[in-house]
Structure 1
Amino acid sequence: MPKKTNISLLLGAAFLMATSAIGPGFLTQTTKFTETLAASFGFVILISIIIDIGAQLNIWRIIAVAEKRAQDIANLVLPGLGYFLAALVVAGGLAFNIGNIAGAGLGLNVLFGVSPKIGALLSGIVAIGIFLVREAGKMMDRFTQILGIIMIGLTIYVMFSSHPPVGEAVRQTFVPDTIDILSIITLVGGTVGGYITFAGGHRLLESGVKGKQAIPEVTRSSITAISVASIMRIFLFLATLGVVAQGLQLDPSNPPASVFQLAAGNMGYKIFGVVMWAAAVTSVVGAAYTSVSFIRTFNQSLEKYHKWLIIAFITVSTLVFALIGEPVKVLILVGSLNGLILPIALGVMLVAAHKPKIVGNYKHPLWMTIFGVFIVIAMACMGIYSLINGIPKLF
């Protein structure tokens, strides 16, 4: 059993990763895919959970054993590779943080009627406030845990209100009428792609949970993180399925909002505002923290002032949305690049796991290596496909 003092750290890392994954895109993806695939989407969720666990178990374990952040491990595998990985993560995190800020603004717009831009500015101030306190790490952990629990609780209420066909959902989770490979890859990318999977791993490292002796704790925390994100996905899937099964049409301009409203009326719409704001603002915090964690080890000044770098990251994201709006072309390009982060990073980690100069006498389990290689190949193919199809949209 972990020490009592470590339980909050393990939960903090788990919820940081999970709430980083549960953002505006997560809500929209889940509702749209459920509308398209109906009960068969349960199978997509099941397969994506298995892949998510395989990727995250590998990455968190190797970070803990090497006792280094991902970018430093990458530089040891191949000099300069860590800088390349960091550049991808920071660019992706900044671009998607603009979308997260936009989602937070939309949430406050639904709740209080303020304009999305004013809502975004207020949300940015809340996120910055977390990193201005002395115990910023503990504040971040508590903030993501509380909002994560609120999100899941409210979504459960809406799920029961929509009366989903649970039996059919369970059946098609294991024997689907339709199998959609693209949606599986999309879900994996949305849960452990880009910066997301490193959020908790880097948080544990910063908290001192590291070394071979910490493997059981790291494993427990990584599975908890995937479980929290998956629970939210399952309940949102069932809530949407209940609405779709009744023959009701979702609003294409805002599918998740229409699910909540159709399931629970005006109260449901207000609940959506809370869930959207909570999902978005916790993703803002997670993206900023994790992106900066990828550059803070490159220089002593960056390490010393990393908290101010996080605040600057959030400020820039907020101002870009408030002053310019979402830079669509940048989002398309960086979104395509983001699909390459997981296979590159996981591939580097798997190589590092078998280098004694990085992990000492640690022996990485063969089944984890094989599972990891499979994920690298699958996600690399999809990332390249996404990049090829993303660049032409810029012109």
Structure 2
Amino acid sequence: MKKKVNWSVLTGAAFLMATSAIGPGFLTQTTVFTQSLGASFGFVILTSILIDIAVQVNVWRVIAVSEKRAQDIANLLLPGLGGFIALLIVLGGLAFNIGNIAGAGLGLNALLGVSVNEGALISAVLAIAIFLIKEAGKAMDRFAQVMGLVMVIVIVYIAVTSAPPVAEAALRTIVPLRIDLMTIVTLVGGTVGGYITFSGGHRLLDAGIKGKESLKQVSTSAVMGISVASLVRIFLFLASLGIITKGLAVDATNPTGSIFQLAAGNLGYRLFGLVMFAAAITSVIGSAYTSVSFVKSFSTKISSNENKVIIGFIMVSTVIFIAVGKPVSLLIMAGVVNGFILPVTLCTILFAAYKTRIVGDYKHPVWLTALGVLVVLIMTYMSGSVLIAQF
């Protein structure tokens, strides 16, 4: 009997992954890198999309077929490895979440005129409210979908308004004038690094979409998630390129807000606030949910009080932001750090795909393994090159 496709859960997981990726750092990185690379940034985006798809499909399929979360898969492969990966993910998730809370505050500041700290507190209360609802999973799915669509519509409008040189962007996407490894590592790390890689896969598992019979649905959801994130990235790149090629001065302290304002005046700046808030609040939810999903299998107390622990995670992130202030370089650096974590987590999943005690009689497609191994080698080389260049 053919299994019924639960499109609500599939799109919910896809949008959770996509909106987890599209945070304040994502918006800032895209604008800053367009300024430095111009139309050639299109090549970086294309490269990162291909890497992202290879990563997500490999990871989500193995999670689904093993019916286990990533940390449990890692512990079965090598005792203690799951705890190490969970530690990396939670620390990275906390770093990202402090930046996400800051971004949500900045977004409401631009949209409503409230102070950044007040905006951060309002955003934290809204995120916490999602996890106070009885059907928190469904509420999270729907919220991610709505906010994701809002971001797509607004950024497409700004891209059209900025009138970018589309032909030049298309050419340089294939034939770049310059290639920057640091940019690729940062983009991949910010889109599928750290907790983001597992957000949708763990959500599908929690919603009961697992087993070999669900693999087609899982792959569809993974590609859908990358497609949404990539669509936002491409149109934000085009919007930025349109402004930059006109020679207009972009405010270095708020590059993305400046792009929106230059493209559509005061309305553009308000829309920037809306997009920044939507991007940040969904990333707060995705980061908290996924980070806690990495530790709940280690303790029955955490598992039985999952929503309370998620709320605590959001509260801690907010308190740190209010106490310390805006982590200026944290948003981009968190993406770089996640780029380093990615080879470790993907390599673990690829080894697990061939262990019968983890996946049973499932046969992982050779072409997917080959792509995964290629990504591990590329990201290890790029991350190593970036690390050496820093010293």
Q: Which residue of 1 aligns with 2:193?
A: 193
Distance in 1 (CA, whole Å) between partners of 2:72 and 2:386 is 27
Rate the CA distance shift 1:337–1:137 in 2: closer, same or farther, 3 A: same
Q: Which residue of 2 aligns with 1:125?
A: 125
Rate the CA distance shift 1:335–1:241 in 2: closer, same or farther, 3 A: closer
Distance in 1 (CA, whole Å) between partners of 2:385 and 2:130 is 38
Rate the CA distance shift 1:288–1:146 in 2: closer, same or farther, 3 A: same
SS at match of 2:68: coil
Q: Which residue of 2 aligns with 1:203?
A: 203
Distance in 2 (CA, whole Å) between partners of 1:95 and 1:182 is 20
Mapped pair 1:359 → 2:333:
no
Mapped pair 1:160 → 2:160:
yes
Mapped pair 1:3 → 2:4:
yes
SS at match of 1:132: coil
Distance in 1 (CA, whole Å) between partners of 2:165 and 2:321 is 40
Rate the CA distance shift 1:347–1:311 in 2: closer, same or farther, 3 A: same
Farther off after superposition, 363-372 or 218-227: 363-372
Q: Which residue of 2 aligns with 1:344?
A: 344
Rate the CA distance shift 1:309–1:389 in 2: closer, same or farther, 3 A: farther
Following superposition, the deviation at residue 43 of structure 1 comes to: 1.2
Asked whether the 8 Å contact 2:28–2:255 carries over to 1, the reply is yes
Following superposition, the deviation at residue 388 of structure 1 comes to: 6.5
Q: Deviations over 1:62-94 (max 9, x none)?
A: 000111000000000000000000000001101
Q: Deviations over 1:347-379 (max 9, x none)?
A: 000000010110011111111111111211222
Asked whether the 8 Å contact 2:101–2:124 carries over to 1, the reply is yes
Following superposition, the deviation at residue 380 of structure 1 comes to: 2.6
Q: How does 1:308-323 map to 2 (within 5 A)?
A: 308-323=308-323
Distance in 1 (CA, whole Å) between partners of 2:247 and 2:371 is 40
Rate the CA distance shift 1:52–1:10 in 2: closer, same or farther, 3 A: same
TM-score, normalised relative to structure 2: 0.96
Following superposition, the deviation at residue 179 of structure 1 comes to: 2.2
Farther off after superposition, 355-364 or 171-180: 171-180
Q: Which residue of 1 aligns with 2:234?
A: 234
Mapped pair 1:173 → 2:173:
yes
Mapped pair 1:137 → 2:134:
no
Q: Which residue of 1 aligns with 2:45?
A: 45
Following superposition, the deviation at residue 197 of structure 1 comes to: 1.2
Mapped pair 1:377 → 2:367:
no
Asked whether the 8 Å contact 1:296–1:303 carries over to 2, the reply is yes
- CA-based RMSD: 1.8
Q: How does 1:163-312 map to 2 (within 5 A)?
A: 163-312=163-312
Q: Size of the alignment, in residue pairs?
A: 390
Matched letter for residue 317 of structure 1: S
Matched letter for residue 38 of structure 1: G
TM-score, normalised relative to structure 1: 0.95
Q: Deviations over 1:30-53 (max 9, x none)?
A: 111111111111111111100100
Asked whether the 8 Å contact 1:92–1:335 carries over to 2, the reply is no
Rate the CA distance shift 1:330–1:38 in 2: closer, same or farther, 3 A: closer
Q: Which residue of 2 aligns with 1:83?
A: 83
SS at match of 1:114: coil
Q: Deviations over 1:320-342 (max 9, x none)?
A: 11122246798898766433321
Rate the CA distance shift 1:39–1:193 in 2: closer, same or farther, 3 A: same
SS at match of 2:194: coil
Distance in 1 (CA, whole Å) between partners of 2:185 and 2:277 is 26
Q: Which residue of 1 aligns with 2:20?
A: 20
Farther off after superposition, 109-118 or 268-277: 109-118
State the identity %. 60
Farther off after superposition, 308-317 or 172-181: 172-181
Q: Deviations over 1:104-153 (max 9, x none)?
A: 00001111211101110110000000000000000000001000000110
Farther off after superposition, 248-257 or 381-390: 381-390
Q: Deviations over 1:242-298 (max 9, x none)?
A: 101111121111110010000000100000000000000000000000000000011
Q: Deviations over 1:188-238 (max 9, x none)?
A: 111101110100000000001011111100000000000000000000011
